[in-house]
Amino acid sequence: MVPLISITIFLPLLAAALLVLPLPISTRTAHLIGLTVSGLTFLGTIAIWLQGSGPAGSFGQIEEVAWIPSLGVAYRVGVDGFSLPLVLLTTSLFVVSMIYSLRITERARSYIALFLFLETSCLGVFVALDLVLFYVFFELTLVGMYFIIAGWGYEKRQQAALTFFIYTLLGSLPLLLAILALYLGSNPRTFDVRALIAAPPLTGLAATLTLIALLVAFAVKTPLFPFHTWLPAAHVEAPTAGSVILAGVMLKLGTYGLLRIGLQMLPEAFRELAPFIAGLAVFSALYGALAALGQTDLKRMIAYTSVNHMGYVVLGIAAAAATTNRATLALALDGATLQMVSHGIVTGSLFLLVGMLQDRAHTRQINDFGGLLKTTPMLGWFFILAAFASLGLPALAHFPAEFQIFLGAFGVWPIAAALTVLGIVITAGLYLRAIQAVCLGEANQRWASLPDLNSRELFAVVPLLLLVVLVGILPGWLLDVIHRTTERLGG
């Protein structure tokens, strides 16, 4: 059998290695390599998707090679209903980023090499079935993103990159501690994710402390209040494609880890702490929405709505942990997983569109714009579509996800769910305000000569928006895969 997953995740890394070798590669060829390789990787994940997640309730397409047998560490990869949608999301967003990045001419080879390196690390986190491997990839994403922000970001990039690196490393080291605790608690000692899920190794105080370490780690990454302060700076200063990957893929590393390691390996401790986690999630969602409301910079605004949307994901996971009803559990987790995908494609499109706007106007201040529908109709309408999707309009991607999360959470904590719905109202308000200020009204003469989207930009953003609509109207193809895993959990 062909080791499809390994080939797919390491293909970008190989191409990245090729790009840094001292070969005569022109900027054009480098872009061609970037596009082709990210495209092939995308096709690879389609093939993985078609092969499916294996037997219901466990992992499929497992590939395993011994690494450090004395310590129970091995190279193990595989997919299930949680990781498959995220893998597909990752490769689609990377293709889109590569298309958008065709405009980059400054040190394009290093830029593309870093993105491909980042793609391998992100995919690796989702498919890793070994905690050491998971940690390795988790940390490598930091290194890749640090250099992308520091090298190609906007004015205050050095500072933002530094904050990002130190903050998230501070977060990921408790993860190492938690992983070691899980390892030392297991018998026989192993880092194998499957074994640790099948027989959760820790109980009592040790489990609670481990979960707290995990929470710190993943709350930084997700991000949850009060660990979110790195996010606006990093998003605002990152180059557009970097923001897309940061928001679209890298925030999911946190929630995915919470799901995979927190919920699945420490179920009892998670159940105990669930009310606190849910409280944090609700507060974070409301805080994110309110903070977004206060922004005048479009990119910062979208960055804060990420805090809001990711709060819903955590609420869904917490509700799944607290409930004893298997149907509610599946409902909440289906919603949480789908929300990760929806947030990836919706926020990805929003960041792309704002990036395109900034490329033209060299400003992101909401009040600088006006009447974009008249000057650049395509850009305007696409922005409106993406904004509607982000505020949770039915028939667009966030709706089925948030609906299931609220339904699941309502069965467990009605008040928390009701409070969170307030978040949707605030987001709706802020997006309508932004649409009104940017797209509607009298055309600002300053922007009269702005060109509308060109073919490169259309190729980047249209597929994503189609996906937003598709997931909104027909989420079934995603939910079926997710549900095959979630229906076997609990009980």
**Identity of the residue, 148 or 479, whose beta carbon is nearer to other proteins in the bound complex:** 148
Please choose, out of 167-175, 192-200, 289-297, 434-442, the segment that lies near other proteins by the rule CB under 8 A: 167-175
Nearer to other proteins, 35 or 180 (CB): 180
Distance, in Å, from the CA atom of 446 to the CA atom of 362, rounded to the nearest integer, reads: 12
Beta-carbon contacts of 487 under 8 Å, excluding residues fewer than 6 positions away, are 56, 57, 326, 330
> Which CB sits closer to other proteins, 183 or 406?
183
Instruction: Kindly state the helix (H) or strand (E) to which residue 428 belongs, with its residue range.
Output: helix 414-438
CB of 176 to other proteins, least distance (A): 7
Among 35, 47, 170, 473, binds other proteins (CB under 8 A): 170
CA 298/CA 364 separation, integer angstroms = 6
Which are the contacts of 204, defined by CB distance < 8 A and separation ≥ 6?
none
- The interface mask with other proteins, positions 96-135, x = CB under 8 A, is ------------------------------------x--x
Near other proteins in 411-440, by CB under 8 A: none
- For the CB of residue 269, give the shortest distance to other proteins in the complex, in Å: 16
Binding flag, residue 187, other proteins (CB under 8 A):
no
Q: Which one of the spans 139-147, 297-305, 348-356, 476-484 is the region binding other proteins (CB under 8 A)?
A: 139-147
The whole-angstrom separation of Cα 72 and Cα 183 is: 9
Q: Tokens at residue 485, please? A: 């895993």
Task: Please report, to the nearest 10 degrees, the dihedral formed by the alpha carbons of residues 128, 131, 136, 142 taken in order.
Answer: 90
Q: How far is the CB of 124 from other proteins (least distance, A)?
A: 11
Which of 113/317 has CB closer to other proteins? 113
Task: List residues bridging with 182 in a β-sheet.
Answer: none
**Does residue number 181 form part of the binding site for other proteins (CB under 8 A)?**
yes
In angstroms, what is the minimal distance from the CB of 415 to other proteins?
36
* Chosen residue from 42, 111, 117, 165 binding other proteins by CB under 8 A: 165
- Decide if residue 158 touches other proteins (CB under 8 A): yes
Binding string, 53-72, against other proteins, x = CB under 8 A? -------------xxxxxx-
Strand 73-79 with 60-68, pairing: antiparallel
How many chain residues touch other proteins (CB under 8 A)? 31
* Counts for the chain of helices (H) and strands (E), in that order: 21, 2
Torsion of CA 438, 442, 446, 450, to 10 degrees: 70
User: Can you tell me the distance from the alpha carbon of 243 to that of 352, in angstroms, rounded to the nearest whole number?
Assistant: 8
The reply on whether position 18 binds other proteins by CB under 8 A is no
Instruction: Assess 25 for contact with other proteins (CB under 8 A).
Output: no
Contact assessment for residue 314 and residue 447, using Cβ atoms and an 8 Å cutoff: no
In the bound state with other proteins, the residue whose beta carbon lies nearer, of 39 and 151, is 151
User: Does the footprint of other proteins cover residue 166 (CB under 8 A)?
Assistant: yes
When asked if residue 220 is in the footprint of other proteins (CB under 8 A), the reply is no
Question: Cα–Cα distance between 322 and 325 in angstroms, integer?
Answer: 9
Q: Residue 184 or 474: which CB sits closer to other proteins?
A: 184
Which residues, in sequence order, are bridge partners of residue 365? 297
Burial of 209 (C-beta count, 10 Å sphere; 0-12/13-18/19+):
middle
Q: Please pick, from the candidates 151, 429, 441, 463, the single residue that binds other proteins as defined by CB under 8 A.
A: 151
Distance CA 491, CA 320 (A): 11
Write out the two tokens for 352.
């792309």
**Which spans of this chain sit near other proteins (rule: CB under 8 A)?**
20, 66-71, 132, 135-136, 139-140, 142-143, 147, 150-151, 158, 162, 165-166, 169-170, 173-174, 176-177, 180-181, 183-184
